[in-house]
Amino acid sequence: MEVMLPTAVGGAAALFGAVTYGLLQPAGRRGGSRGGRWLSPPQSDRIDLAAFAPADLSAGLARASSPAFRMAKRFFDIMLASLLLLASAPLLAVVAILVPLESAGPVFYRQERVGAGGRVFRIVKFRSMRQDAEAGGARWAAVNDDRVTRIGRLIRHFRIDEIPQAFNVLAGDMSFVGPRPERPEFVGLLREAIPHYDLRHSVKPGITGWAQVKHQYGASIEDAVEKHRFDLFYLKNNGPLMDLGIVLLTVRVALFGLGAR
């Protein structure tokens, strides 16, 4: 406990500054990092990979694996996922009607992702691309991607396509907050290119995460490296206050459609 307390308190204090400052920033004021800079030194919201060692996460990962924390986080997950589905039910019904009207095919899109412990599961999203979008193989979404339908562009802009992942949370495959799960096709590539990449699989993946509220959408190895730095920071400082702060910043990101493709 003596080892974990300074990390938890320091992370909580820093997060309070990040969330407060981030929420006060105008939506249009953002560079490579979303939600504004912290009031602390530059890049204090991510890990410096050059100076990083896996042992730096020992306290954070011990905290995340403790029975009390896991029980509290599971309650938080079930409560938020249930509230999200109930509150958005009328909107989801409308989207479920519109998606197949524009583009023939299923309403939902199921895709394999890598979760905690490297276990592969199937994520559920509203389909936002043409049914033949990956006829030539898996690839990241690009700016103004022509595979995205008009309805798909709209629901991506406001992150509505992500809402069905609440069912993955209820099923226990995901958490509400955590590193975003990546596709198996890309995990091997990223594992080779990014130091300590598999540490992100130490916890359940999330619908949203620290990288998603702090960094713009990316579809390259360079962007994946930058998001990895934010994910490591989350693993080091994770806790109830940090999760709550990320949820609040996620609402802002969704309302203003920041970083969508």
188 within a domain of the structure (yes/no): yes
233 within a domain of the structure (yes/no): yes
215 within a domain of the structure (yes/no): yes
Are the CB atoms for 222 and 142 separated by under 8 Å? no
Arithmetic mean of pLDDT over the chain? 83
State which residues form the domain around 230: 4-42+52-130+141-256
Q: What is the pLDDT of residue 137?
A: 67
Q: What is the pLDDT of residue 152?
A: 92
105 within a domain of the structure (yes/no): yes
Q: What is the pLDDT of residue 15?
A: 54
**Domain count of the chain?**
1
171 within a domain of the structure (yes/no): yes
136 within a domain of the structure (yes/no): no
Determine the Cα–Cα distance for residues 126 and 113; give it in Å rounded to an integer. Answer: 15
Q: What is the pLDDT of residue 145?
A: 76
Q: What is the pLDDT of residue 253?
A: 85
Q: What is the pLDDT of residue 220?
A: 82
Q: Report pLDDT digits (tens) over 13-34.
A: 455 555 544 444 444 444 444 4
47 within a domain of the structure (yes/no): no
Q: Can you spell out the DSSP letters for 92-114?
A: HHHHHHHHHHHSSS-SEEEEEEE
Q: What is the pLDDT of residue 132?
A: 66
Walk along the chain (261 residues) and give the pLDDT tens digit of each residue. Answer: 333 434 444 454 455 555 544 444 444 444 444 443 333 334 589 999 999 999 999 999 999 999 999 999 999 999 999 999 999 999 999 999 999 998 888 999 999 999 999 999 999 999 998 876 666 666 667 666 778 899 999 998 899 999 999 999 999 999 999 999 999 999 999 999 999 999 999 999 999 999 999 987 777 889 999 999 999 999 999 999 999 999 999 998 888 766 554
Query: Where does the chain have alpha helices with state H?
Result: 4-24, 58-65, 67-102, 150-157, 166-171, 184-193, 210-214, 221-237, 240-256
Are the CB atoms for 161 and 126 separated by under 8 Å? yes
pTM beyond 0.95, yes or no: no
